[in-house]
Amino acid sequence: MATEAKKYDYAVRDTHGKIQKGSIEAPSEAAVASRLKDMGLAPVSITEAKTGGLNAEIKIPGLSDRIKLKDIAIMSRQLATMIGAGLSLLRALTILGEQTENPALAKVIQSVRADVEAGVSLSTAMSKHETFPPLMVNMVRAGEVGGFLDTVLESVAQNFEADVKLRGKVKSAMTYPVVVFIIAILAVIGMLLFIVPVFAGMFDSLGGELPFLTKILVVMSDVLKIGIVPLIIGIGVAVYLWNKNKNKVSFREKVEPMYLKAPVFGPLVQKIAVARFTRNLGAMLRAGVPILQSLDIVGQTSGNIVIEKASKDVRESVRTGNSLAKPLAQHEVFPPMVVQMMAVGEDTGALDNMLDKIADFYDDEVEATTEQLTSLIEPLMIAVLGGIVGFMVIALYMPIFGVFELIQ
């Protein structure tokens, strides 16, 4: 009968002499000590972790079990490092499952390890879980066949880290304007629901004719008081319908092309899509994945149906023996520079390197574009919100000028 694993807290001294603390699951303290020594760490103390009460693990539904691309990137790099250092795949997966901070990812890794121990290949074990993108699964499969799994995992980590960095730049640039906008909207709604009615009641008790701007503000307040609940319900329904239909092809064909044609954000979406397409395709070709299979996977993971259709056209062109770059010229999402650089890469036999250069170029373009958008949006937002708040203040205080006359 197998011994039930328990959770242990430990303190260890690393190779640099620094004390590190953490937790691990194992059948006994001896097993913990053995695993820590295998990781090159010197155990200082090992104690069974307390469960329940204040030490109980807090799980937030939909958040605690979320596995991000950053987690996959870290896992890929750690796995590549351990395999490159000479550890067996099973030992590396065991250590990775125990030290991974994300509980959901740890469970997936343990499941993958069990399949590998049963004789299943790593790529096949990964393909059973939606956690691992098809791009990663196919690159790992190519690495297994070619005997350079550690190199492929390193490439996967670099690819995902670049994607995470790109997303981080966009999020950090857009966080401030979005937060300011949300706070301003909430402030306006609060004024309309709670402050305007107080002023309106005071003006009604004094009698007299309200100014036109004040009447507009009072009407807006009355409408919002009646419509706030239907508005919240409508937003909830819209979010539900969006989540339900966002992955349907018919819905994507209507919505996603509009992203690229948006007046301000369209160029940014285009550059992100091109950077992701070229980076993923270059990584897969370098890993030894067949080009037809690479194009099929890159299209599916592009995140935009326009890119996906372009990938299908390129795939058919390559299948019939034609060039890779020629069909891209028929799709406006790919600028002429991208098409020409890919054509040169084909002619020189260095397509993967050329794709990396294109991806790096558009990463820099995305960063510059987000900075420009931020510098443009902030003053516009301040002007618009200042105008709204100014209108409300003027509308509220205009009747006050006539209050003394009404009192007399």
**Distance (Å, whole) CA 248 – CA 15:** 52
Nearest to 143 by CA among 131, 130, 155, 134: 155
CA distances from 130 to 70, 125, 126, 172, 232 (A): 15, 11, 8, 28, 33
User: In sequence order, what E strands does 315-382 have?
Assistant: none
Tokens (6 digits) for 69: 């691309």
* Residue 1 confidence (pLDDT): 42
Residues 6+ positions from 224 with CB-CB distance below 8 Å:
189, 192, 193
* Residue 312 confidence (pLDDT): 85
The parts of the chain modelled with pLDDT lower than 50 are: 1-2, 52-64
Instruction: Indicate the pTM of the whole model.
Output: 0.65
Query: CB atoms < 10 A from the CB of 165, how many?
Result: 13
User: By three-state DSSP, how is residue 83 classified?
Assistant: helix
User: By three-state DSSP, how is residue 246 classified?
Assistant: coil
**Distance (Å, whole) CA 92 – CA 83:** 7
* Residue 405 confidence (pLDDT): 59
No. of helices (H) and no. of strands (E), the chain = 16, 3
**Distance (Å, whole) CA 365 – CA 383:** 27
User: By three-state DSSP, how is residue 58 classified?
Assistant: coil
User: By three-state DSSP, how is residue 57 classified?
Assistant: coil
* Residue 237 confidence (pLDDT): 93
Dump pLDDT digits (tens) for 378-392: 788 888 888 888 888
> Given the DSSP bridges, would you call strands 6-13 and 42-48 parallel, antiparallel or unpaired?
antiparallel
* Residue 50 confidence (pLDDT): 62
Query: CB atoms < 10 A from the CB of 12, how many?
Result: 20
